[in-house]
């Protein structure tokens, strides 16, 4: 698969990554099946995996996805991948709540190091700003963790341009992870995608199909299915190819519960689209 550089990190990763969330939340597969899905992604050329400590069922299950990924990499001989994880959310009784207090981020990072079984985390991302905690305090703690060698690179998630600029004044930022899909093009409207292009930050679109429900109904979006059929692709692979064609900063991280889904997504890394193709695909979203 073609590779892209993860911002200023110098890390070359697959143009399409794997999002781990669906392997660990409600309706998740067995751990053995989850490992098989990760192995299928690796076999298809994926070398970038995104996770988070909060990808689990509830607070008692915290770190589940990180542990599954660690097992998958450990069990596959010669497997190598850059793993990006996140801290700053909690899962009380299965809810999703924000906690980006410095003390919590430090505790979460230490827990992620143990779950992943590594001495240093490749990329550690603030999962989301927390209104109860000054943003600079949260990012400042990530800067300290980086200085201490616990994390190699810092990323952000669910942020706007103003927050990216504030964070960059505190610590080097290599990536931004926001929601982006055919029916939610906020990163284009808000200027976040253009800002990442300008500053050469990796942009990691999550929920590229619109979440689990969106993935199931993607073929019914406008005339997308027709555009995909013309090119001999699944609608899902075409959407990922469209994202890659929109910007050299983009590294999509589609989730997968099945090996077949992981392989189909990985194939987008080899699809070449012209500017006319991009316009036709965007018109099909309407």
Q: What is the pLDDT at residue 243?
A: 98
Q: What is the pLDDT at residue 93?
A: 97
pLDDT, averaged per 10 consecutive residues of the chain (286 residues), comes to: 96 98 98 98 98 98 98 95 98 98 98 98 98 98 98 98 98 98 98 98 98 95 98 98 98 98 98 98 96
**For residue 54, what are its two tokens?**
């909060």
Catalytic residue from among 22, 55, 124, 195:
55
Burial class (CB in 10 A: 0-12, 13-18, 19+), 225: middle
Q: What is the pLDDT at residue 157?
A: 98
pTM for the whole structure: 0.97
Tell me which residue has tokens 């993860």.
6
Task: Report DSSP letters for 176-230, one per residue.
Answer: EE-B-BTTB-HHHHHSHHHHHHHHT-EE--BSTTSHHHHHHHGGGSTTHHHHHHH
- The verdict on whether 22 is a catalytic residue reads no
Q: What is the pLDDT at residue 141?
A: 98
């Amino acid at each position: 698969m073609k590779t892209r550089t993860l911002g200023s990190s110098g890390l070359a990763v697959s143009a399409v990554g794997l999002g781990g969330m669906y392997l660990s939340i409600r309706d998740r597969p067995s751990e053995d099946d989850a490992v098989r899905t990760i192995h299928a992604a690796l076999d298809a050329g994926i070398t970038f995996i995104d996770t988070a400590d909060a990808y689990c069922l509830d607070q008692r299950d915290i770190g589940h996805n990180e542990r599954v990924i660690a097992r998958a990499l450990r069990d596959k001989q010669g497997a190598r991948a850059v793993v990006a994880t996140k801290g700053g959310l909690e899962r009380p009784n299965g809810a999703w709540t924000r906690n980006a207090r410095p003390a919590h981020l430090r505790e979460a990072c230490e827990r992620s190091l143990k779950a992943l079984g590594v001495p240093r985390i490749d990329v550690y991302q603030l999962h989301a700003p927390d209104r109860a905690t000054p943003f600079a305090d949260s990012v400042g703690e990530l800067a300290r963790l980086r200085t201490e060698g616990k994390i190699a690179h810092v990323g952000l998630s669910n942020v706007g341009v103003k927050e990216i600029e504030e964070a960059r004044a505190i610590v080097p930022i290599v990536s931004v992870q926001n929601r982006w899909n055919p029916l939610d093009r906020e990163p284009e409207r808000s200027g976040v995608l253009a800002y990442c292009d300008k500053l050469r930050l990796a942009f990691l679109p999550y929920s590229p199909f619109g979440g689990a429900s969106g993935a199931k109904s993607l073929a019914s979006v406008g005339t997308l299915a027709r555009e995909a059929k013309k090119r001999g692709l699944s609608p899902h692979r075409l959407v990922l190819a469209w994202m890659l064609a929109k910007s050299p900063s983009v590294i999509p991280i589609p989730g997968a519960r099945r090996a077949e889904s992981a392989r189909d997504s990985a194939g987008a890394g080899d699809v070449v689209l012209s500017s006319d193709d991009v316009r036709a695909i965007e018109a099909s979203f309407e």
